[in-house]
């Protein structure tokens, strides 16, 4: 009888221990999205752009800066479809920080154009970074010198709903044209420059910081031309769409023999209001206090003093706290 009772007691203890282990099994690790992992780390996924653009390599540098300066952050950069896709991924919780154009962030926050009826009031700004130059790339032999010359040509305008596509629509409109006046192709930057090199397309809209890797690659084998904008069309564009600004591609870039006048929007970093004030403050401070560690040519444009220029949407409280401490304010 005693032996039977002993076995019964052991069986009950074993069952109890298995039950407690099962209850505790879900506690290991942690949620992503800026939440703490099992070791207290904050996982931060930076949504960037295509591998041949500017966002992806710059995002990798930002991730390194965060990892080097914040002990509790585990950051990585992810290649994406860039601005529009990044806004949707942020909304869906697939990232914590994202690169985007200022115009696209404004469309997303206000539910306009490609975000019609889908206003994302959770999107908050961290700060602007550098000009995103609209480059209409073609070859010297194409005979395309101005925007009007694109009429009837095969032109890459980016994916429908992308930032590049919206820029192309705005610019064609100001010049009295629509997508119906060209043979539009929806290619990424790499395929656009390959298409120009192979003679499959005549020109491509590329909205990116200069120099852009894909365009540099093309210029290494082909004499290229960047379409110029006239002063009156620049003024007309900015008057109708204030998030544009006059810009210039310097002489020598891509082997250009003279500077080219064009327009730009701003690249910016955004996050969501789900991110904690303390974490966003620390990340904003780490990035803007370590711009000398940014191993990318765009690092020279990234400063705290200019980070609120053209933001256009509400700042995240964590970013605002940092810029308030620096005495930086929007105009």
| Lowest mean per-residue pLDDT among 18-32, 82-96, 160-174 | 18-32
Most confident among 99-113, 140-154, 302-316 (mean pLDDT): 140-154
Q: Domain 132-265 is in which class? A: alpha beta
Alpha helices (H) in 156-289, listed in sequence order: 163-174, 189-198, 213-219, 231-240, 277-288
Query: In Å, what is the CA distance from 108 to each residue of 97, 167, 306?
Result: 15, 15, 23
Cis? peptide before 83, omega within 30° of 0? no
Angle between helices 317-326 and 277-288 (to 10 degrees): 50
Angle between helices 231-240 and 163-174 (to 10 degrees): 120
Residue 135 has pLDDT above 80, yes or no: yes
SS3 7: helix
pLDDT confidence of residue 33: 44
pLDDT class for 7, splitting at 50, 70, 90? very low
pLDDT confidence of residue 330: 73
| Average confidence (pLDDT) over 123-140 | 95
According to DSSP, residue 11 is labeled H
Identify any residues that bridge with 262 across adjacent strands, giving them in sequence order. Answer: 247
Put simply, whether the predicted model's pTM sits higher than 0.85 gets the answer no
Please enumerate in sequence order all residues whose Cβ is within 8 A of that of 167, keeping only pairs 6 or more positions apart, or say none. Answer: 103, 134, 205, 207, 265
Q: Which two tokens stand for residue 134?
A: 């609209």
Distance, CA of 170 to CA of 173 (rounded, Å): 5
Helix, strand, coil shares of the chain, percent, nearest 5, are 45, 20, 35
Question: Greatest CA separation found in the chain?
Answer: 103
Residue 152 has pLDDT above 50, yes or no: yes
pLDDT confidence of residue 239: 87
pLDDT confidence of residue 38: 56
CATH code linked to domain 42-130+268-326: 3.40.190.10
pLDDT digits (tens, 9 = 90+) for 8-61: 454 444 444 444 344 443 332 333 445 555 567 899 999 999 887 789 999 999
pLDDT digits (tens, 9 = 90+) for 208-229: 888 888 999 999 999 999 999 9
Distance, CA of 75 to CA of 60 (rounded, Å): 9
Of 131, 163, 135, whose CA–CA distance to 306 is shortest? 131
Count CA atoms within 13 Å of residue 294 on its CB side.
21
Radius of gyration of the chain (CA): 25
pLDDT class for 252, splitting at 50, 70, 90? very high
Count CA atoms within 13 Å of residue 39 on its CB side.
6
pLDDT confidence of residue 298: 86
| Average confidence (pLDDT) over 231-235 | 95
Intervals of CATH 3.40.190.10 along the chain: 42-130+268-326, 132-265
pLDDT class for 119, splitting at 50, 70, 90? very high
Distance, CA of 86 to CA of 77 (rounded, Å): 12
Residue 181 or residue 8, greater confidence: 181
């Amino acid at each position: 009888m005693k032996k039977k009772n002993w076995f019964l007691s052991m069986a009950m203890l074993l069952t109890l221990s298995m039950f407690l282990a099962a209850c505790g099994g879900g506690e290991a690790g942690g949620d992503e999205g800026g939440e703490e992992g099992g070791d207290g780390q904050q996982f931060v996924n930076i949504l960037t752009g295509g591998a041949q653009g500017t966002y992806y390599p710059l995002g990798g540098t930002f991730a390194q800066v965060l990892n080097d300066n914040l002990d509790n952050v585990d950051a990585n950069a992810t290649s994406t479809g860039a601005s529009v896709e990044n806004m949707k991924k942020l909304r869906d919780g697939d990232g914590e920080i994202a690169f985007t154009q200022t115009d696209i962030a404004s469309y997303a926050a206000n539910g306009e154009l490609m975000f019609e009826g889908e206003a994302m009031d959770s999107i908050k700004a961290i700060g602007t970074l550098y000009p995103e130059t609209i480059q209409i790339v073609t070859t010297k032999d194409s005979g395309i010198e101005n925007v009007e010359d694109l009429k009837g040509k095969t032109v890459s305008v980016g994916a429908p709903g992308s930032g590049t596509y919206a820029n192309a629509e705005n610019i064609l409109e100001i010049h009295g044209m629509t997508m119906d006046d060209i043979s539009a192709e929806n290619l990424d930057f790499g395929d656009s420059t390959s298409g120009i090199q192979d003679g499959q397309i005549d020109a491509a809209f590329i909205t990116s910081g200069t120099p852009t890797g894909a365009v540099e690659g093309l210029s290494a084998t082909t004499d290229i031309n960047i379409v110029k904008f006239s002063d009156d069309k620049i003024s007309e564009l900015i008057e109708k769409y204030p998030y544009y600004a006059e810009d210039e591609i310097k002489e020598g870039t891509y082997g250009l023999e003279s500077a080219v006048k064009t327009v730009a929007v701003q690249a910016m970093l955004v996050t969501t209001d789900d991110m904690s004030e303390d974490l966003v403050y620390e990340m904003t401070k780490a990035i803007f206090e370590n711009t000398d560690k940014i191993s990318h040519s765009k690092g020279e444009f990234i400063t705290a003093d200019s980070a609120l220029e053209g933001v256009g949407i509400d700042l995240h409280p964590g970013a605002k706290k940092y810029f308030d401490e620096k005495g930086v304010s929007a105009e």
